[in-house]
Chains A and B, each alone.
Chain A
Protein backbone atom coordinates (compact mmCIF):
# COMPACT_ATOMS: atom_id res chain seq x y z
CA UNK A 1 0.00 0.00 0.00
CA UNK A 2 2.96 2.34 -0.20
CA UNK A 3 2.18 4.78 -2.98
CA UNK A 4 4.46 7.18 -4.75
CA UNK A 5 5.07 10.29 -2.70
CA UNK A 6 5.18 12.77 -5.54
CA UNK A 7 2.23 15.13 -5.77
CA UNK A 8 1.71 17.49 -8.67
CA UNK A 9 2.86 20.86 -7.35
CA UNK A 10 0.12 22.92 -8.98
CA UNK A 11 -2.62 21.15 -7.09
CA UNK A 12 -0.92 21.42 -3.77
CA UNK A 13 -0.58 25.17 -4.14
CA UNK A 14 -4.18 25.69 -5.26
CA UNK A 15 -5.38 24.46 -1.89
CA UNK A 16 -3.17 27.06 -0.26
CA UNK A 17 -4.97 30.01 -1.77
CA UNK A 18 -7.89 29.56 0.58
CA UNK A 19 -6.05 30.93 3.67
CA UNK A 20 -5.22 34.12 1.76
CA UNK A 21 -8.89 34.68 0.97
CA UNK A 22 -9.81 33.86 4.56
CA UNK A 23 -7.46 36.55 5.78
CA UNK A 24 -9.36 39.08 3.69
CA UNK A 25 -12.67 37.87 5.09
CA UNK A 26 -11.37 38.18 8.62
CA UNK A 27 -10.06 41.67 7.96
CA UNK A 28 -13.34 42.73 6.35
CA UNK A 29 -15.28 41.47 9.36
CA UNK A 30 -13.07 43.28 11.84
CA UNK A 31 -12.39 46.51 10.02
CA UNK A 32 -15.72 48.35 10.53
CA UNK A 33 -15.92 47.80 14.28
CA UNK A 34 -12.28 48.49 15.01
CA UNK A 35 -12.20 51.37 12.56
CA UNK A 36 -15.08 52.94 14.43
CA UNK A 37 -13.40 52.35 17.79
CA UNK A 38 -10.23 53.92 16.42
CA UNK A 39 -12.03 57.00 15.19
CA UNK A 40 -14.15 57.46 18.28
CA UNK A 41 -11.97 56.19 21.13
CA UNK A 42 -8.34 55.52 20.31
CA UNK A 43 -7.63 58.58 18.15
CA UNK A 44 -9.41 60.91 20.61
CA UNK A 45 -7.40 59.47 23.49
CA UNK A 46 -4.19 59.97 21.50
CA UNK A 47 -5.22 63.50 20.57
CA UNK A 48 -5.92 64.28 24.19
CA UNK A 49 -2.56 62.86 25.20
CA UNK A 50 -0.98 65.22 22.68
CA UNK A 51 -3.03 68.15 24.00
CA UNK A 52 -1.88 67.50 27.52
CA UNK A 53 1.66 68.50 26.46
CA UNK A 54 0.60 71.77 24.87
CA UNK A 55 0.82 75.21 26.40
CA UNK A 56 -2.52 76.16 24.89
CA UNK A 57 -5.15 74.48 22.75
CA UNK A 58 -4.09 74.79 19.07
CA UNK A 59 -7.05 76.76 17.80
CA UNK A 60 -6.82 79.72 15.50
CA UNK A 61 -3.34 80.78 14.60
CA UNK A 62 -1.79 79.98 17.94
CA UNK A 63 1.55 78.21 17.56
CA UNK A 64 2.08 74.74 19.00
CA UNK A 65 4.19 74.92 22.10
CA UNK A 66 5.13 71.77 23.91
CA UNK A 67 5.41 71.84 27.67
CA UNK A 68 5.30 69.62 30.74
CA UNK A 69 3.66 72.37 32.80
CA UNK A 70 0.25 70.74 32.83
CA UNK A 71 1.60 67.63 34.49
CA UNK A 72 3.36 69.75 37.07
CA UNK A 73 0.02 71.26 38.05
CA UNK A 74 -0.03 69.29 41.28
CA UNK A 75 3.15 71.07 42.33
CA UNK A 76 2.25 74.48 40.97
CA UNK A 77 -1.30 74.47 42.29
CA UNK A 78 -1.25 72.89 45.77
CA UNK A 79 -5.04 73.00 46.09
CA UNK A 80 -5.20 70.28 43.44
CA UNK A 81 -3.58 67.89 45.90
CA UNK A 82 -6.49 68.52 48.24
CA UNK A 83 -8.97 67.92 45.42
CA UNK A 84 -7.26 64.69 44.48
CA UNK A 85 -7.32 63.60 48.09
CA UNK A 86 -11.06 64.32 48.29
CA UNK A 87 -11.57 62.10 45.23
CA UNK A 88 -9.52 59.31 46.76
CA UNK A 89 -11.34 59.67 50.08
CA UNK A 90 -14.69 59.42 48.30
CA UNK A 91 -13.37 56.40 46.40
CA UNK A 92 -12.17 54.66 49.56
CA UNK A 93 -15.34 55.34 51.51
CA UNK A 94 -17.58 54.22 48.66
CA UNK A 95 -15.57 51.09 47.98
CA UNK A 96 -15.24 50.19 51.66
CA UNK A 97 -18.92 50.68 52.43
CA UNK A 98 -19.94 48.79 49.29
CA UNK A 99 -17.76 45.87 50.34
CA UNK A 100 -19.06 45.93 53.89
CA UNK A 101 -22.70 46.00 52.77
CA UNK A 102 -22.39 44.05 49.53
CA UNK A 103 -20.43 40.97 50.65
CA UNK A 104 -22.99 39.81 53.24
CA UNK A 105 -25.77 40.51 50.75
CA UNK A 106 -24.00 38.43 48.10
CA UNK A 107 -23.44 35.57 50.54
CA UNK A 108 -27.08 35.75 51.65
CA UNK A 109 -28.18 35.73 48.02
CA UNK A 110 -25.98 32.77 47.19
CA UNK A 111 -26.62 30.68 50.27
CA UNK A 112 -29.93 31.68 51.84
CA UNK A 113 -32.05 31.64 48.71
CA UNK A 114 -32.83 28.99 46.12
CA UNK A 115 -34.29 28.48 42.68
CA UNK A 116 -36.92 30.87 41.43
CA UNK A 117 -36.75 33.29 44.38
CA UNK A 118 -32.99 33.45 43.96
CA UNK A 119 -33.38 34.41 40.31
CA UNK A 120 -35.94 37.09 41.13
CA UNK A 121 -33.88 38.57 43.96
CA UNK A 122 -30.79 38.53 41.77
CA UNK A 123 -32.61 40.42 39.05
CA UNK A 124 -33.95 42.88 41.61
CA UNK A 125 -30.42 43.58 42.79
CA UNK A 126 -28.93 44.18 39.35
CA UNK A 127 -31.92 45.94 37.77
CA UNK A 128 -31.40 49.41 39.30
CA UNK A 129 -27.88 49.25 38.00
CA UNK A 130 -29.17 49.39 34.46
CA UNK A 131 -31.49 52.28 35.07
CA UNK A 132 -30.22 55.75 34.45
CA UNK A 133 -27.60 56.77 37.02
CA UNK A 134 -28.46 60.42 36.72
CA UNK A 135 -32.08 59.80 37.56
CA UNK A 136 -31.11 57.74 40.59
CA UNK A 137 -28.73 60.39 41.88
CA UNK A 138 -31.38 63.01 41.42
CA UNK A 139 -33.88 60.94 43.36
CA UNK A 140 -31.53 61.00 46.36
CA UNK A 141 -31.81 64.77 46.50
CA UNK A 142 -35.46 64.37 47.34
CA UNK A 143 -34.64 61.96 50.13
CA UNK A 144 -31.73 63.81 51.69
CA UNK A 145 -32.72 67.47 51.49
CA UNK A 146 -34.28 69.47 54.27
CA UNK A 147 -37.97 68.67 54.25
CA UNK A 148 -37.15 65.57 52.21
CA UNK A 149 -38.25 62.02 52.91
CA UNK A 150 -35.58 61.38 55.50
CA UNK A 151 -36.35 64.59 57.37
CA UNK A 152 -40.06 63.89 57.17
CA UNK A 153 -39.68 60.35 58.47
CA UNK A 154 -37.47 61.51 61.31
CA UNK A 155 -40.02 64.06 62.40
CA UNK A 156 -42.77 61.49 62.37
CA UNK A 157 -40.76 59.60 65.00
CA UNK A 158 -39.28 62.57 66.88
CA UNK A 159 -41.38 65.67 66.19
CA UNK A 160 -39.13 67.95 68.24
CA UNK A 161 -35.89 67.16 66.44
CA UNK A 162 -34.18 69.95 64.51
CA UNK A 163 -34.52 69.86 60.70
CA UNK A 164 -32.07 67.45 59.06
CA UNK A 165 -30.41 67.96 55.73
CA UNK A 166 -27.67 65.71 54.45
CA UNK A 167 -27.79 67.19 50.98
CA UNK A 168 -24.66 69.04 49.81
CA UNK A 169 -22.35 67.17 52.14
CA UNK A 170 -19.62 64.58 51.91
CA UNK A 171 -21.88 61.80 53.29
CA UNK A 172 -24.51 62.62 50.66
CA UNK A 173 -21.95 62.04 47.88
CA UNK A 174 -20.88 58.75 49.42
CA UNK A 175 -24.49 57.57 49.94
CA UNK A 176 -25.35 58.34 46.34
CA UNK A 177 -22.23 56.58 45.03
CA UNK A 178 -22.69 53.52 47.23
CA UNK A 179 -26.22 53.30 45.96
CA UNK A 180 -25.00 53.60 42.40
CA UNK A 181 -22.21 51.03 42.62
CA UNK A 182 -23.35 48.53 45.26
CA UNK A 183 -24.87 46.20 42.63
CA UNK A 184 -21.36 45.78 41.12
CA UNK A 185 -20.03 44.51 44.42
CA UNK A 186 -22.99 42.23 45.04
CA UNK A 187 -22.67 40.85 41.52
CA UNK A 188 -18.95 40.03 41.67
CA UNK A 189 -19.13 38.66 45.22
CA UNK A 190 -22.20 36.64 44.33
CA UNK A 191 -20.34 34.96 41.47
CA UNK A 192 -17.61 33.93 43.91
CA UNK A 193 -19.98 32.94 46.68
CA UNK A 194 -22.21 30.90 44.38
CA UNK A 195 -19.18 28.91 43.25
CA UNK A 196 -18.39 27.73 46.77
CA UNK A 197 -18.91 24.02 46.99
CA UNK A 198 -21.33 23.00 49.72
CA UNK A 199 -19.03 20.04 50.37
CA UNK A 200 -16.28 22.39 51.62
CA UNK A 201 -18.60 23.80 54.23
CA UNK A 202 -19.93 20.42 55.25
CA UNK A 203 -16.40 19.07 55.50
CA UNK A 204 -15.44 21.94 57.79
CA UNK A 205 -18.57 21.45 59.85
CA UNK A 206 -17.86 17.73 60.18
CA UNK A 207 -14.43 18.66 61.45
CA UNK A 208 -16.09 20.64 64.22
CA UNK A 209 -15.80 24.18 62.85
CA UNK A 210 -18.48 26.57 64.00
CA UNK A 211 -20.15 29.20 61.85
CA UNK A 212 -17.79 32.15 62.55
CA UNK A 213 -14.79 29.93 61.88
CA UNK A 214 -16.32 28.65 58.66
CA UNK A 215 -16.97 32.19 57.56
CA UNK A 216 -13.44 33.38 58.33
CA UNK A 217 -11.56 30.34 57.05
CA UNK A 218 -13.62 29.23 54.08
CA UNK A 219 -16.28 31.63 52.86
CA UNK A 220 -14.25 34.81 53.12
CA UNK A 221 -11.09 33.56 51.37
CA UNK A 222 -13.16 32.05 48.57
CA UNK A 223 -15.07 35.31 48.13
CA UNK A 224 -11.88 37.33 48.00
CA UNK A 225 -11.53 37.39 44.18
CA UNK A 226 -15.06 38.76 43.90
CA UNK A 227 -14.37 41.29 46.62
CA UNK A 228 -11.21 42.51 44.91
CA UNK A 229 -12.66 42.72 41.40
CA UNK A 230 -15.77 44.43 42.79
CA UNK A 231 -13.56 46.96 44.56
CA UNK A 232 -11.68 47.77 41.35
CA UNK A 233 -14.88 48.03 39.36
CA UNK A 234 -16.13 50.54 41.91
CA UNK A 235 -13.01 52.52 42.78
CA UNK A 236 -12.08 53.30 39.17
CA UNK A 237 -15.32 54.95 38.06
CA UNK A 238 -15.90 56.59 41.43
CA UNK A 239 -12.68 58.61 41.35
CA UNK A 240 -13.71 59.73 37.87
CA UNK A 241 -17.27 60.62 38.83
CA UNK A 242 -18.43 64.17 38.45
CA UNK A 243 -22.19 64.34 38.29
CA UNK A 244 -22.76 62.69 41.69
CA UNK A 245 -20.47 65.18 43.49
CA UNK A 246 -22.06 68.03 41.59
CA UNK A 247 -25.65 67.10 42.31
CA UNK A 248 -25.29 65.72 45.84
CA UNK A 249 -22.22 67.61 47.02
CA UNK A 250 -22.92 71.11 45.79
CA UNK A 251 -20.04 73.33 46.79
CA UNK A 252 -18.48 70.53 48.92
CA UNK A 253 -18.25 68.30 45.90
CA UNK A 254 -15.07 69.51 44.24
CA UNK A 255 -13.32 66.36 43.01
CA UNK A 256 -10.93 65.39 40.26
CA UNK A 257 -13.95 64.60 38.12
CA UNK A 258 -15.52 68.03 38.53
CA UNK A 259 -12.09 69.69 38.12
CA UNK A 260 -11.61 67.97 34.78
CA UNK A 261 -15.17 68.77 33.71
CA UNK A 262 -14.58 72.43 34.62
CA UNK A 263 -11.46 72.62 32.45
CA UNK A 264 -13.51 71.54 29.46
CA UNK A 265 -16.86 73.25 29.94
CA UNK A 266 -16.09 76.29 32.13
CA UNK A 267 -12.42 77.27 32.12
CA UNK A 268 -11.64 76.03 28.61
CA UNK A 269 -8.14 75.10 29.68
CA UNK A 270 -8.15 71.91 27.64
CA UNK A 271 -4.46 71.07 27.98
CA UNK A 272 -4.72 71.19 31.77
CA UNK A 273 -7.93 69.16 31.68
CA UNK A 274 -6.23 66.62 29.42
CA UNK A 275 -3.24 66.35 31.73
CA UNK A 276 -5.48 65.86 34.75
CA UNK A 277 -7.49 63.23 32.87
CA UNK A 278 -4.35 61.38 31.89
CA UNK A 279 -2.99 61.51 35.40
CA UNK A 280 -6.21 59.87 36.48
CA UNK A 281 -6.03 57.39 33.60
CA UNK A 282 -2.50 56.56 34.74
CA UNK A 283 -3.81 55.75 38.20
CA UNK A 284 -6.57 53.61 36.67
CA UNK A 285 -4.07 51.71 34.51
CA UNK A 286 -1.81 51.07 37.47
CA UNK A 287 -4.78 49.68 39.38
CA UNK A 288 -5.71 47.43 36.45
CA UNK A 289 -2.14 46.31 35.96
CA UNK A 290 -1.69 45.41 39.60
CA UNK A 291 -5.02 43.65 39.77
CA UNK A 292 -4.45 41.65 36.60
CA UNK A 293 -1.42 40.17 38.30
CA UNK A 294 -3.31 39.45 41.49
CA UNK A 295 -6.48 38.13 39.91
CA UNK A 296 -7.19 35.23 37.58
CA UNK A 297 -8.23 36.41 34.09
CA UNK A 298 -11.73 35.04 34.63
CA UNK A 299 -12.57 37.62 37.28
CA UNK A 300 -11.48 40.53 35.11
CA UNK A 301 -13.37 39.26 32.12
CA UNK A 302 -16.53 39.46 34.16
Chain B
Protein backbone atom coordinates (compact mmCIF):
# COMPACT_ATOMS: atom_id res chain seq x y z
CA UNK B 1 0.00 0.00 0.00
CA UNK B 2 2.74 2.38 1.05
CA UNK B 3 4.91 1.67 -2.00
CA UNK B 4 1.87 2.18 -4.24
CA UNK B 5 1.11 5.47 -2.55
CA UNK B 6 4.64 6.73 -3.03
CA UNK B 7 4.75 5.69 -6.67
CA UNK B 8 1.49 7.48 -7.30
CA UNK B 9 2.78 10.58 -5.58
CA UNK B 10 5.91 10.59 -7.73
CA UNK B 11 3.73 10.22 -10.83
CA UNK B 12 1.72 13.28 -9.79
CA UNK B 13 4.86 15.27 -9.21
CA UNK B 14 6.10 14.16 -12.65
CA UNK B 15 2.85 15.46 -14.13
CA UNK B 16 3.24 18.77 -12.30
CA UNK B 17 6.80 19.26 -13.48
CA UNK B 18 6.57 17.79 -16.98
CA UNK B 19 5.63 20.98 -18.83
CA UNK B 20 8.04 23.02 -16.81
CA UNK B 21 10.83 20.62 -17.64
CA UNK B 22 9.85 20.75 -21.30
CA UNK B 23 9.97 24.51 -21.27
CA UNK B 24 13.37 24.64 -19.66
CA UNK B 25 14.63 22.04 -22.14
CA UNK B 26 13.29 24.06 -25.05
CA UNK B 27 14.98 27.17 -23.73
CA UNK B 28 18.28 25.40 -24.30
CA UNK B 29 17.24 23.91 -27.66
CA UNK B 30 18.85 25.41 -30.71
CA UNK B 31 15.80 24.89 -32.97
CA UNK B 32 13.41 27.80 -33.34
CA UNK B 33 10.61 25.38 -34.22
CA UNK B 34 10.98 23.26 -31.05
CA UNK B 35 12.06 20.25 -33.08
CA UNK B 36 13.22 17.22 -31.19
CA UNK B 37 15.68 15.84 -30.24
CA UNK B 38 17.27 18.73 -28.45
CA UNK B 39 20.43 20.37 -29.66
CA UNK B 40 21.92 22.29 -26.75
CA UNK B 41 22.41 26.01 -27.25
CA UNK B 42 22.38 29.23 -25.32
CA UNK B 43 21.38 31.38 -28.25
CA UNK B 44 17.92 32.25 -26.88
CA UNK B 45 19.39 33.51 -23.66
CA UNK B 46 21.85 35.56 -25.69
CA UNK B 47 19.01 36.87 -27.82
CA UNK B 48 17.27 38.20 -24.69
CA UNK B 49 19.99 40.74 -24.18
CA UNK B 50 19.00 42.56 -27.37
CA UNK B 51 15.24 42.30 -26.96
CA UNK B 52 14.44 45.83 -25.81
CA UNK B 53 10.68 45.47 -25.08
CA UNK B 54 11.28 42.31 -23.04
CA UNK B 55 14.08 43.94 -21.09
CA UNK B 56 12.04 47.03 -20.36
CA UNK B 57 9.11 44.85 -19.27
CA UNK B 58 11.44 42.93 -16.98
CA UNK B 59 12.69 46.16 -15.49
CA UNK B 60 9.11 47.31 -14.94
CA UNK B 61 8.19 44.01 -13.32
CA UNK B 62 11.07 44.17 -10.86
CA UNK B 63 10.44 47.82 -10.14
CA UNK B 64 6.76 47.32 -9.44
CA UNK B 65 7.38 44.18 -7.40
CA UNK B 66 9.92 46.01 -5.23
CA UNK B 67 7.63 49.03 -4.81
CA UNK B 68 4.64 46.80 -4.08
CA UNK B 69 6.58 44.98 -1.41
CA UNK B 70 7.88 48.24 0.07
CA UNK B 71 4.38 49.74 0.30
CA UNK B 72 2.20 46.72 1.03
CA UNK B 73 4.41 45.34 3.82
CA UNK B 74 4.25 48.31 6.21
CA UNK B 75 0.60 48.98 5.39
CA UNK B 76 -0.38 45.36 5.90
CA UNK B 77 1.77 45.04 9.02
CA UNK B 78 0.12 48.07 10.59
CA UNK B 79 -3.34 46.75 9.84
CA UNK B 80 -2.39 43.32 11.20
CA UNK B 81 -1.15 44.96 14.39
CA UNK B 82 -4.52 46.64 14.87
CA UNK B 83 -6.51 43.55 13.92
CA UNK B 84 -4.55 41.26 16.23
CA UNK B 85 -3.77 43.49 19.18
CA UNK B 86 -6.58 46.02 19.51
CA UNK B 87 -10.10 45.49 20.68
CA UNK B 88 -12.64 47.41 18.66
CA UNK B 89 -16.05 47.03 17.12
CA UNK B 90 -16.16 45.92 13.48
CA UNK B 91 -12.97 43.90 13.73
CA UNK B 92 -14.47 40.78 12.22
CA UNK B 93 -16.00 42.82 9.40
CA UNK B 94 -12.59 44.29 8.58
CA UNK B 95 -11.10 40.82 8.56
CA UNK B 96 -13.82 39.70 6.19
CA UNK B 97 -13.03 42.60 3.86
CA UNK B 98 -9.59 41.10 3.30
CA UNK B 99 -11.12 38.18 1.48
CA UNK B 100 -12.63 39.80 -1.66
CA UNK B 101 -9.27 40.78 -3.18
CA UNK B 102 -8.12 37.20 -2.73
CA UNK B 103 -11.30 35.32 -3.50
CA UNK B 104 -12.91 37.28 -6.32
CA UNK B 105 -11.56 36.17 -9.70
CA UNK B 106 -8.80 38.51 -10.84
CA UNK B 107 -10.57 38.98 -14.12
CA UNK B 108 -13.39 40.78 -12.31
CA UNK B 109 -11.11 42.84 -10.09
CA UNK B 110 -8.87 43.67 -13.03
CA UNK B 111 -11.68 44.87 -15.25
CA UNK B 112 -13.21 46.79 -12.36
CA UNK B 113 -9.91 48.59 -11.83
CA UNK B 114 -9.72 49.32 -15.53
CA UNK B 115 -13.22 50.83 -15.52
CA UNK B 116 -12.68 52.85 -12.36
CA UNK B 117 -9.19 54.11 -13.14
CA UNK B 118 -10.23 55.10 -16.62
CA UNK B 119 -13.34 56.84 -15.38
CA UNK B 120 -11.67 58.77 -12.59
CA UNK B 121 -8.73 59.83 -14.72
CA UNK B 122 -6.16 57.75 -12.85
CA UNK B 123 -5.66 56.05 -16.16
CA UNK B 124 -3.38 53.13 -16.97
CA UNK B 125 0.37 52.67 -16.78
CA UNK B 126 2.99 51.98 -14.12
CA UNK B 127 1.25 53.98 -11.38
CA UNK B 128 -2.04 52.15 -12.00
CA UNK B 129 -0.22 48.82 -11.94
CA UNK B 130 1.34 49.74 -8.63
CA UNK B 131 -2.01 50.74 -7.10
CA UNK B 132 -3.51 47.44 -8.22
CA UNK B 133 -0.60 45.25 -7.13
CA UNK B 134 -0.38 46.80 -3.68
CA UNK B 135 -4.11 46.24 -3.17
CA UNK B 136 -3.70 42.58 -4.11
CA UNK B 137 -0.69 42.11 -1.86
CA UNK B 138 -2.11 43.82 1.26
CA UNK B 139 -4.50 41.00 2.27
CA UNK B 140 -1.72 38.41 1.96
CA UNK B 141 0.62 40.54 4.05
CA UNK B 142 -2.04 41.01 6.73
CA UNK B 143 -2.69 37.27 6.88
CA UNK B 144 0.98 36.24 6.99
CA UNK B 145 2.08 38.92 9.42
CA UNK B 146 -1.03 38.43 11.53
CA UNK B 147 -0.27 34.72 11.82
CA UNK B 148 3.21 35.69 12.98
CA UNK B 149 1.73 37.98 15.62
CA UNK B 150 -0.62 35.30 16.87
CA UNK B 151 2.31 33.10 17.86
CA UNK B 152 3.71 36.05 19.85
CA UNK B 153 2.16 36.27 23.26
CA UNK B 154 0.89 39.71 24.23
CA UNK B 155 2.22 39.31 27.74
CA UNK B 156 5.80 39.68 26.49
CA UNK B 157 5.14 43.36 25.91
CA UNK B 158 3.41 43.63 29.28
CA UNK B 159 6.42 42.05 30.92
CA UNK B 160 8.72 44.58 29.25
CA UNK B 161 6.51 47.44 30.35
CA UNK B 162 6.39 46.21 33.92
CA UNK B 163 10.19 46.28 33.78
CA UNK B 164 10.14 49.93 32.78
CA UNK B 165 9.78 49.93 28.98
CA UNK B 166 7.49 52.51 27.48
CA UNK B 167 4.98 50.96 25.04
CA UNK B 168 7.09 52.18 22.13
CA UNK B 169 10.31 50.79 23.56
CA UNK B 170 8.57 47.50 24.34
CA UNK B 171 7.38 47.26 20.75
CA UNK B 172 10.80 47.90 19.27
CA UNK B 173 12.86 45.86 21.70
CA UNK B 174 10.57 42.87 22.18
CA UNK B 175 7.79 42.55 19.62
CA UNK B 176 9.59 43.72 16.51
CA UNK B 177 12.64 41.42 16.69
CA UNK B 178 10.39 38.40 17.27
CA UNK B 179 7.99 39.49 14.58
CA UNK B 180 10.62 40.27 11.95
CA UNK B 181 10.88 36.84 10.27
CA UNK B 182 7.20 36.88 9.40
CA UNK B 183 7.41 40.50 8.23
CA UNK B 184 10.30 39.61 5.93
CA UNK B 185 8.39 36.57 4.75
CA UNK B 186 5.39 38.76 3.99
CA UNK B 187 7.57 41.25 2.10
CA UNK B 188 8.95 38.43 -0.05
CA UNK B 189 5.47 37.10 -0.62
CA UNK B 190 4.23 40.52 -1.69
CA UNK B 191 7.18 40.74 -4.09
CA UNK B 192 6.32 37.31 -5.52
CA UNK B 193 2.61 38.12 -5.83
CA UNK B 194 3.41 41.24 -7.80
CA UNK B 195 6.06 39.60 -9.95
CA UNK B 196 3.70 36.78 -10.94
CA UNK B 197 0.62 38.92 -11.39
CA UNK B 198 -0.66 38.79 -14.93
CA UNK B 199 -4.39 39.38 -15.14
CA UNK B 200 -4.51 42.76 -13.44
CA UNK B 201 -1.35 43.95 -15.15
CA UNK B 202 -2.89 42.91 -18.43
CA UNK B 203 -5.84 45.27 -18.00
CA UNK B 204 -3.86 48.15 -16.52
CA UNK B 205 -0.80 48.22 -18.77
CA UNK B 206 -0.52 50.35 -21.89
CA UNK B 207 1.06 49.11 -25.15
CA UNK B 208 4.32 50.88 -24.35
CA UNK B 209 4.44 50.19 -20.64
CA UNK B 210 3.89 46.60 -19.54
CA UNK B 211 5.27 43.94 -17.25
CA UNK B 212 7.02 40.72 -18.09
CA UNK B 213 3.97 38.43 -17.86
CA UNK B 214 1.99 40.79 -20.07
CA UNK B 215 4.83 40.87 -22.57
CA UNK B 216 5.07 37.09 -22.52
CA UNK B 217 1.33 36.80 -23.11
CA UNK B 218 1.58 39.18 -26.05
CA UNK B 219 4.42 37.14 -27.51
CA UNK B 220 2.50 33.90 -27.07
CA UNK B 221 -0.48 35.34 -28.90
CA UNK B 222 1.68 36.76 -31.64
CA UNK B 223 3.39 33.44 -32.25
CA UNK B 224 6.02 31.20 -30.83
CA UNK B 225 9.46 32.45 -30.11
CA UNK B 226 11.94 30.42 -28.07
CA UNK B 227 13.07 33.59 -26.35
CA UNK B 228 9.93 33.29 -24.24
CA UNK B 229 11.22 29.96 -22.97
CA UNK B 230 14.51 31.51 -22.00
CA UNK B 231 13.00 34.45 -20.15
CA UNK B 232 10.36 32.19 -18.56
CA UNK B 233 13.08 29.87 -17.34
CA UNK B 234 14.86 32.74 -15.64
CA UNK B 235 11.56 34.02 -14.30
CA UNK B 236 10.66 30.58 -12.95
CA UNK B 237 14.01 30.24 -11.22
CA UNK B 238 13.61 33.64 -9.55
CA UNK B 239 10.08 33.06 -8.28
CA UNK B 240 10.89 29.53 -7.07
CA UNK B 241 13.86 30.88 -5.17
CA UNK B 242 11.68 33.57 -3.58
CA UNK B 243 9.12 31.02 -2.49
CA UNK B 244 11.72 28.66 -1.07
CA UNK B 245 13.18 31.50 0.99
CA UNK B 246 9.65 32.42 2.06
CA UNK B 247 8.91 28.84 3.13
CA UNK B 248 12.11 28.73 5.14
CA UNK B 249 11.43 32.08 6.80
CA UNK B 250 7.82 31.48 7.70
CA UNK B 251 8.73 28.12 9.17
CA UNK B 252 11.51 29.71 11.19
CA UNK B 253 9.14 32.39 12.40
CA UNK B 254 6.68 29.77 13.56
CA UNK B 255 9.36 27.76 15.32
CA UNK B 256 10.79 30.73 17.18
CA UNK B 257 7.46 32.13 18.25
CA UNK B 258 5.99 28.88 19.45
CA UNK B 259 8.61 28.32 22.10
Contact = CB atoms under 8 A, between A and B. Distances in A.
Nearest to B135: A40
A48 B112 contact: yes
B94 to A, nearest CB: 7
Contacts of A105: 8-9, 12
B198 A243 contact: yes
B111 interface: yes
Most buried by A among B20, B97, B104: B104
Contact of B112 (A136, A149, A277): A277
Chain B interface mostly: helix
Nearest to B134: A36
A123 B246 CA distance: 12
Contacts of A288: 103
A113 B75 contact: no
Interface in A281-297: 281, 284, 288
Interface size, B (range): 35 or more
Contacts, number: 239
Interface in B29-50: 33-36
A33 B138 contact: yes
Nearest to A301: B143
A174 interface: no
Contact of A131 (B26, B116, B134, B239): B239
A128 B98 CA distance: 25
Interface in A27-68: 29-30, 32-34, 36-37, 39-45, 47-48, 51, 58
Given A26-B82, A26-B86, A152-B36, A274 B111 contact: yes
Interface stretch (B52-60, B155-163, B176-184, B212-220): B212-220
Chain A interface mostly: helix
A125 B138 contact: no
Contact of B23 (A34, A135, A280): A135
Given A33-B138, A44-B116, A112-B2, A136 B19 contact: yes
A267 to B, nearest CB: 13
B138 A236 contact: no
12 contacts: A22-B86, A36-B75, A36-B134, A37-B98, A104-B8, A113-B9, A132-B196, A139-B23, A141-B224, A179-B19, A270-B115, A278-B108
Interface of A: 22-23, 25-26, 29-30, 32-34, 36-37, 39-45, 47-48, 51, 58, 101, 104-105, 107-109, 111-113, 121, 123-125, 127-128, 130-136, 138-143, 147-149, 152, 179, 182-183, 186, 211, 236-237, 239-243, 246-247, 257, 260-261, 264-265, 270, 273-274, 277-278, 280-281, 284, 288
